[in-house]
Amino acid sequence: MEPMVRFQDVHKSFGAVEVLKGITLDVPRGDVVVLVGRSGSGKSTALRCINGLETVNGGELHVCGEKLHDGKTDLRKLRQEVGIVFQSYNLFPHLTVEQNVTLAPRKVMKVGAKEAKELAAHVLAQVGLSEKAQSYPEQLSGGQQQRVAIARSLAMKPKLMLFDEVTSALDPELTGEVLRVIERLAKDGMTMVLVTHEMGFARGVADQIVFMHHGKVWERGGAEMLRAPQTAELQQFVATDL
Amino acid sequence: MGYEFDFSFLSEYAPDLWRGVWLTLWMTVVSIVPGFVIGTLCAIGRIYGSTPVRRVATVYVEAIRNTPLVIQVFWLFFGLAVLGARLDAFTAAIIALSINVGAYTAEIMRAGFESIPRGQREAASCLALSGPQRVLYVELPQAVERVYPALVSQFILMMLATSIMSQISAEELTGVAYQIQSFTFRGFEAYLVTAVIYLALVTTLRLTLHGVALAAFPRRRRLGTPL
């Protein structure tokens, strides 16, 4: 079976700065792949390429069987299949939690009002926020807002979920509640790519850990990789983290 | 001083004053709606439009904001008449006011759109909303909410600016006041009364727009955030 995401020698530059220097990486269906590395290593850029937020300059990137960036890619279609959650939540502040969750299903997938409400109830239950449906984002804690953002993505019934440092703005307690939601998604078999600084969490949830360094896949392996790094760079990275 | 204040003309001229009040109100209301629509479309055009669209919008906004309203309406009323396109005074007035307030609204709305964090656009696009859907459901409501107080002041300025329309024989409130003082020589009283009426009109408009805000921004209403 072809992988959900396949990077083949992908290059990406911002002006003169080359951020991705030839990434080759497969994300098999049902797997959880965690990208780790220092700031500036290119992990967030790699993640953002997967749903077309960044365009690649060289190499090939296939997502859900579609080749991206050949000028014909229908980004809207792709984004119905690939959900993304950001560090800064980006909930729509003028809409209630329920309206945040149902906006895209109603307008993009043309789901009816009643069905959309049921859908919202379902995904909000998944993230443990059923009772907040009628609240506004500003009435919620950071952790709750991030869980709503996850629910909002899930409402589009994506095949693949991307998480870009989703707990970096949260204190440890709130981080825990968000990570538990992600763990449950992993158990349910959702294919996911995560960028995170939570090494303990990465070890627990990842099928594959990818250490990125200077725009390259420097080292990769299962969860045990972090305990026995092969390269000096990963050794150093792990040492500074612990 | 020897001058005795005399407001007795009020009963005689009350019907004229009423007609003036209605015309002022009507001009205002009829100009706010198209002005807001023009301004919003222009703001969207200046931010997301192609180069020609951006240029046209910019020229419009700058041309209108840098010329006097009275000249704009004279040109529509007297100028076009020379070419054979006669507009009646009311039509010329509301066209001039709509176009004028539209240009100012465009700049206010542009500020509103530009103040929305980039993450909002990104999140909307990542949920597969189309460009127009994103603007309509995510950006526009937030932009209006952010600049609402500035819009209200602009609309109030426009209501007060209707007072120059007597210059093209639209007998709105100021035109009526001028007539009253020229017939009665009671300039002090006539313009004092007129000022008080304007004050009442502006207060009414302000309260109405506050009511509109309560209906349009349910979050503010629920959370009790002042507008």
What confidence tens digit (pLDDT) does each residue in B62-121 have?
999 999 999 999 999 999 988 888 899 999 999 999 999 999 999 999 999 999 999 999
- Gap between the Cα atoms of B189 and B6, Å rounded: 7
What confidence tens digit (pLDDT) does each residue in A82-108 have?
999 999 999 999 999 999 999 999 999
**Per-residue pLDDT at A40 exceeds 60:** yes
pLDDT for A224 equals 84
pLDDT for A230 equals 87
Judged by CB atoms closer than 8 Å, whether chains meet at B119 and A90 is answered as yes
Predicted TM-score (pTM) of this structure: 0.90
pLDDT for A242 equals 54
Chain A residues with CB under 8 Å of B117 CB are 90
| % pLDDT > 70, chain A | 98
- Gap between the Cα atoms of A122 and A133, Å rounded: 11
φ, ψ of residue B219 to 5 degrees: the values are -65, -45
B3 in a domain, yes or no?
A: no
Q: From the list A86, A90, A94, which residue is nearest B219 (CB)?
A: A94
What confidence tens digit (pLDDT) does each residue in B120-177 have?
999 999 999 999 999 999 999 999 999 999 999 999 999 999 999 999 989 999 999 9
Residue A77 sits in a domain whose CATH number is 3.40.50.300
- Gap between the Cα atoms of B138 and B152, Å rounded: 22
What is the extent of the structural domain holding A235?
A: 5-91+159-241
A129 in a domain, yes or no?
A: no
Q: How many domains does chain B have?
A: 1
Question: What is the chain A residue with the closest CA to B121?
Answer: A90
B149 in a domain, yes or no?
A: yes
A125 in a domain, yes or no?
A: no
3-state SS record for chain B = CCCCCCCCHHHHHHHHHHHHHHHHHHHHHHHHHHHHHHHHHHHHHHHHCCHHHHHHHHHHHHHHHCCCHHHHHHHHHHHHHHCCCCCCHHHHHHHHHHHHHHHHHHHHHHHHHHCCCHHHHHHHHHCCCCHHHHHHHHHHHHHHHHHHHHHHHHHHHHHHHHHHHHHHCCCCHHHHHHHHHHHHCCHHHHHHHHHHHHHHHHHHHHHHHHHHHHHHCHHHHHHCCCC
Average pLDDT, chain A: 92
Question: What is the chain A residue with the closest CA to B146?
Answer: A94
pLDDT for B10 equals 87
pLDDT for B227 equals 62
Q: From the list B119, B128, B222, which residue is nearest A86 (CB)?
A: B119
In chain A, which residues touch B (CB < 8 A)?
A: 51, 53, 75-77, 79-80, 83-84, 86, 88, 90-94, 96, 103-104, 107-108, 136, 138-139, 149, 152-153, 156
B1 in a domain, yes or no?
A: no
Q: From the list B128, B145, B217, which residue is nearest A79 (CB)?
A: B128
A177 in a domain, yes or no?
A: yes
What is the extent of the structural domain holding B206?
A: 9-223
A106 in a domain, yes or no?
A: no
**Per-residue pLDDT at A241 exceeds 70:** no
A43 in a domain, yes or no?
A: yes
Burial (Cβ within 10 Å: 0-12, 13-18, ≥19) of residue B47: middle
Pairing of strands A17-27, A5-14: antiparallel
A195 in a domain, yes or no?
A: yes
B87 in a domain, yes or no?
A: yes
Q: How many domains does chain A have?
A: 1
Burial A34-62 (b: 16+ CB within 10 A, else e): bbbbbeebbbbbbbbbbbbbbebeebebb
- Contact (Cβ atoms closer than 8 angstroms) between residue A217 and residue A22: no
Place of tokens 């100021």: B174
Chain B: closest CA distance from residue A240 (Å): 31
B175 in a domain, yes or no?
A: yes
ipTM: 0.91
Judged by CB atoms closer than 8 Å, whether chains meet at B133 and A107 is answered as yes
Residue B186 sits in a domain whose CATH number is 1.10.3720.10
